[in-house]
Every structure is written in structure tokens, then in C-alpha cells.
Structure 1
Amino acid sequence: MSADTAVRERSSPGPAKTPVLRGFLSAHPLLEYGIRRFGLYLVELWGSLTIAFFFFRLIPGDPVQTFIQTLAQNYVYNQQASQEVIDKYREEFGLDGNIFVQYLRFMQRLIFEQDLGPSLINYPTPAFEVVGQSLPWTVGLLGISAVLAFVLGILAGAVAGWRRGKIGAEVATTTSIALGHVPFYFLALILVYVFSYLLGILPNRSAYDSAIPVAFSPEFIGSLIQHGLLPAGSIVIIGVFNWLLSTRMLMVPILGEDYLHYAEAKGLHPNRILTRYALRNCYLPQVTGFGISLGFIFNGNLLVEQLFNYPGLGFTLVTAINQLDFNTVLAVTTISIFFVLTANLILDLLLPLLDPRVKYWR
């Protein structure tokens, strides 16, 4: 071997080494999928909160002046004292400085202190505490209604697709097409008119009977169920129609697949073929659709709560907007965005478990 050849071999670069982290993630694709999805979740969360902050700050009006006028009806202030009160509350509510300074202070308090300041509608209670009192009502109403509508709609859609051409299946499909896009609040108005005003069998206001003490008792639970039937019913009925249509649409094209004919030839019971073979192929798109629909369900739920005077996030949000309570409005919006995006993140992480074909995300 010549000296030049030896020098070239020593100076030639060896094979590129794969970074340790990249090699580890390549060996664990599901972990890589989770990390990538969580990073996207953080970006979505930051972007949504930023848009919400600047949107509500652009609403015309001065919340502190509105609050001072309310105080002036009960107390007497001279001009100097009023100006001192205004300056104090601007600083306390995070309204001093330009909008970018307010934004930085908002993100700092949200991330490091988990606090957005006091609420105008219930001063000096912190805004998150005010929202925390309404959150269980919305979670109970929306959570139960959304899950119930999803389960019933999937089952009804599977049966409608499996028994296509039958009278019952065609009636259910036609009814869903006609009523599936009716807004939640419009159906709620119809239910109130029928069951509250015409029949008089269900209440149309509040979440429970105020004459019954709040306790874990059959009387109080029965009152909760009775008062929640109409608002929950409007969400469940519309949700069932929508899930029925989408499930039937996914079910019909796969009924002619060879593996279903093979399962039938093996002598399997039709119900087993439906649940274990046909319906299983609808899980993945429907679970993804459920996460996407949560935002729309939540928006409709806000109007339903306002209609029924239900003490949830929707009622609190409307009250806060009427009084220009930015802290409470942002607290409601922040919690709503967090829950909707977190639910979507959890569903995305569950997809590889529901469908083995989902191994990683690129």
C-alpha cells in the first residue's frame, strides 16, 4: 500500500453516526408518535390562548369604568379618589400598560401562577375560582351527554348500515338526514315548549330545585336528573343523529368485503360478525371525529346552558361578557380550550391501541 493511499484512508470520513436520541426514537416509534403529538398540542394550546387574548382585548369598552360605575351607585367618591381607584383596579386586573405588556403579564400569570386575577362579576374572588364553581355543572352535563350520544349513535348507525333496505333502518336514516344539522339550542326550544309549557312535566330553569338541600340524597339526585333531562336531551338527540349518519356511511362500503363473507361462511352469528368484524373498522375514524366534534358540542352547550339558566360555563361566560369581565372570560376560554385540546390529545394517543395499523406519525 502506498503512502498516498494510506493517507487517503485515514483522512476519509467514516460512516455517519446516528444521534443517540434519534436512534432511540427510531427504535420506539410509538414513543416518537407521542412526543411529536404532545409538541403539536403545546403549539396549538399556545396559539389558541394567544388568539383568544387579543380577540377579547379588542372588544370596545372599559371594564374598570364599568366596575367603578357599579361601585359609585353604592358609595360616594370624589374625583381624586375615583381616579386612585381606577389606577388601582387597572393594575390589579392586568389592564395597565399597552396590549403587548398585558399579553406578557397574562402568559406569565397563567403559566407560573395559574391565576388570571380577580373576577369583576364576583370581586375579589379569583376568576379561576369563579369558573371552578361552574365547571362541574358543564362537565356533568356535556360529558355525559356527549359520551351517551356517541355510544348510542355508533350502535344505531351500525345497525342501520347492517340492515340497510329495511323499513326501520331507512326511517332512522331519513330522520337523521332531516334533523342531524338542527342546532342544539333550536331543539332545546322545541323541547321546552312541548315538555314544559304544553305538558308541564319537566322544569325549564336551573339545575335543581332550590327547595331541596344540596346533598348526596335520592331527592337531590332525582332533582338533578329531572332538571337535566331537557338540556341533555337536546345534545343527545342531535348527537345521535349525526353519529348515526357517519357510522352508517362507514359501515355500508365494507359489507361486501371478502373477510365478512368468509366469517359468514364459517357459520359465525350475524351479531358477532357485526360487532367483531364490521363495526371494528369504524372505530378509528369515529374516535377521531369525536375529538374534533367536542369543540362544536361545547359551543352548542354554552347556548343551551344560557337558555335553561343552567349554572355552567356558558351561563358564567355570558354574564362575564355582559359586564366586560375579561379575566373571567379568559378563564372560561382557557379552561374550554384546555379541555377540548387535551381530549383530542388523549384520543390521538389512543389511536395506536385501537388500530394496530397506526404505528407512528410522520
Structure 2
Amino acid sequence: MTATAPPAEKAAERTQESASPGALRAWLGRHPLAAYAIRRFGLYLVELWGALTIAFFFFRLMPGDPIQTLIQTLQQNYIYNQQASTELIARYRAEFGLDGNLFVQYLKYMEKLVLHGDMGPSLISYPTPAQDVILRSLPWTIGLLGISAVLSWIFGIVIGAIAGWRREKIGARIATNLSIALSHVPYFFVALILVYIFAYSLGMLPARSAYDSSITPGITPEFIGSVLKYGLLPGLSIVLIGTFSWILSTRMLMIPVLGEDYLLYAEAKGLKGSRILTRYALRNCYLPQVTAFGISLGFIFNGNVLVEQLFNYPGLGTTLVTAIQQLDFNTILGVTNIAIFSVLTAVLILDLLLPLLDPRVKYWK
């Protein structure tokens, strides 16, 4: 006759077994999508940490002393002719996170950034925190470059799909040839042409700034209309070149699909050409084009600096150039970190959504 364990001991044993690594692996095996999401999120955290670390050491190893730049600025603005004391320089170094060796500076910076979201004071707008300077410029960049990038992607996908589907038509040939000729033209060159035509020759649109200085900023029809008017030329230069690039890539992805058996079968069943294009042929272009769009989002923050400079647009590109000129490490790192975070987060989201967009994708197998 054998003794049996009490129910409480059996429950404890089951709890220990369920908490064992083997049970965890079994659960992950039963939920492959959750296992893939956990692995992908862990890789995302490692990539984010690595990219932020590389950016920190890269900019901190740049030649130059931002504290001396600040002292010179104070001398010019406040007629500060006396030599700055050692205590003042030490206080500024501690405030900007430049005291101690490079490893100590890195630990302090990451602690403030991760735990408190503090990027340190901005040199170009001292003593304003760098994150506040960036947040003032961020809406302008998202409003101009973000919307332009989305519009160019949509126009490029639609026109490129039609150009590939009806590649023998004269309109498709014209669109393809224009895309080949203009897809690699720099944004700022197109912007210069548009400024010359619409601003200086015709006088229809303004050439610089983000809105009319005589209008008080606010959520009013007058201010919104001014922002749209002033943002038309820089936005149009980005949309034009971006659209031509997406047309070429979409057409290149569309043409090899047209001879597939499932398209011939759909056509034999009597389906309309528009339905075959949108429901069958175009779906094969989603996977690479959605991934490429997610990667291109990083250029929203730092890929069109010359366009913002040309139009004197108060976005992140202009802020980044000003920060580089004055060795404002905190602001430079802040803009770079936002670009890194945006690209990696967009790629993570797309990786999680791709199995839903294309059922052939089984990354977790």
C-alpha cells in the first residue's frame, strides 16, 4: 500500500513543472506566433541598444569642445569679456554630461535617457532641454516630410502597378521612361527648379519659411491655409522624386508575376482585369514594398536636410544642421536617436504585420 501526496503537494508539483524551462518551451511550441514576437522584440531591444551606443561614441569622439563654444556664445551675447573661471567650466561640463571619462559619460547619458527621458540641455538654445528643442521641430518635419513620403508611396504603388499591368500602352511607357530619367535626381535640385518657376517666375507660391509671419500660429483656418501654401513647394519636390522611385520598383515587381498560372486561371474564370490586378497581382508587391517603406521612414528625419535648408523650414533637418555647426552633442544625439528609434520600431511593426499581410510568410516556423 503506497502513500499518496496530499492535494496541496500535487498542486505545488504541477506549478513547479509548469514553471520549468521545458514547459515554457512547450508553450512556445504551441504558440509559434507568440514565440516569434518574443524573439523579434528581444532582437529589437538589442538592436536599439547597439545603435544608440554606436551613435553616442561616434559623436562624442568628434573633435571640438562644446563648452568653449558655449563660453564664446556667452561672451558675444552678454559682453562677457573676462576669462571664464574653472568652476564655471566644470559646472557646464557636469551639466552637459562631459565630466569624467568616456565610459562614465556613456553610463550617465543612458541612465538619463532610459530612466528619465532626459537628453540633457541644448547648446543652441541653452538652458532649454534638448528634447524640448527637438519637439518644437518634430511636428514640422512629420507634417511636411511624413505626409510627402506617404503620398509618394501611395502614388508610386498605384501608378507602378498600372504601368506594369498595361506595359504595352503609351501612357505606361511614358511613366516608365520618366521614372527612369528622374528617379535619381536629388530632391533639392527639383526644389530649386520649382522655386524658380512657381516662386520667382510666376510668383504664385512663397519660396521660404513655413508660414506667413504676419499670422499668429494657432489652429485656425487662416494659419492652416498658410502652412499648406508654404509647404506646397518643398512637399511637391519630395513627392515627385519619391513617386518616380516607387513606380520603378513596383513595376519591376509586377511584371514577373503577370505570367503566373494563377493569374491565367483567374482570367479564364472571367474575372475583371481590375479585380485580378488588385486582388491577385498587386498582393505580391505588398511584401517588399511595405518593408522598403518602413525602412525609408528614417529618411523623414534626416534624409531631406537640404530641402529644409533651401526653404528655411523649421524642421529637424534645420535643427540638426544648427546643432552640428555649434557642436551641440545633446541635440545631435537626440535627433539621431529619434531616427534610430523610428526606423527600428517601424521595421519591428512591419515584421509583426507581414504574416498578416501575406499568408505565405511563416517566420516563426
Q: Please, what TM-score do these two structures have when normalized by structure 2?
A: 0.91
Which residue pairs with 1:11 in the alignment? none
Helix, strand or coil at the partner of 1:19? helix
Question: Quick one: distance in 2 between partners of 1:177 and 1:61?
Answer: 43
Contact 1:149-1:236 at 8 Å conserved across structures: yes
**What are the residue-to-residue correspondences of 1:93-108 with 2, within 5 Å?**
93-108=96-111
Q: Does 1:241 align with 2:244?
A: yes
Does structure 2 conserve the Cα–Cα contact (< 8 Å) formed by 1:231 and 1:308?
Answer: yes
Report the equivalent of 1:219: 222
Q: Which residue of 1 aligns with 2:52?
A: 49
SS at match of 1:231: helix
Provide the residue aligned with 2:116 in structure 1.
Answer: 113
Quote how far apart the aligned CAs of 1:178 are: 1.0
Q: Deviations over 1:232-251 (max 9, x none)?
A: 11111111111111111111
Tell me the distance in 2 between the aligned counterparts of 1:148 and 1:361: 33
Match of 2:68 among 65, 68, 87: 65
Q: Find the residue that maps to 1:209 and give its secondary structure.
A: coil
- Which aligned pairs between 1:1-362 and structure 2 lie closer than 5 A? 19-73=22-76, 74-76=78-80, 78-79=82-83, 82-361=85-364
Note the C-alpha offset of 1:85: 1.2
Q: May I ask how many residue pairs the two structures share in their alignment?
A: 345
Aligned-partner Cα distance in 1 for 2:149–2:170: 28
SS of the residue 2:297 aligns to: helix
Q: Amino acid of the residue matched to residue 42 of structure 1?
A: L
Letter in 1 for 2:180: I
Q: Deviations over 1:257-287 (max 9, x none)?
A: 1111111122111111111111111111111
Deviation at 1:132, TM superposition (A): 0.8
Distance 2:220 2:335 in 1: 30
Distance 1:148 1:208, change over 3 A: same
Structure 1 length-normalised TM: 0.91
Equivalent residue letter for 1:122: S
Q: Are the equivalent residues in 1 in contact too, given 2:142–2:300 (CA < 8 A)?
A: no
> Could you list the per-position Cα deviations for residues 27-73 of structure 1 after superposition, in whole angstroms to 9, with x for gaps in the alignment?
11111221122122112211211121111112211111111111123
Unaligned runs of 5+ in 2: 1-19
**Identical aligned residues as a percent:** 72
Following TM superposition, by how much is the alpha carbon of 1:147 offset from its aligned partner in structure 2, in angstroms?
0.9
Report the Cα offset of residue 325 of structure 1: 0.8
Q: Which amino acid is the alignment partner of residue 239 of structure 2?
A: V
**Aligned partners of 2:80 and 2:186: how far apart in 1?**
47
DSSP 3-state at the match of 2:85:
helix
Distance 1:344 1:198 in 2: 43
Distance 1:244 1:172 in 2: 8
Amino acid at match of 1:20: A
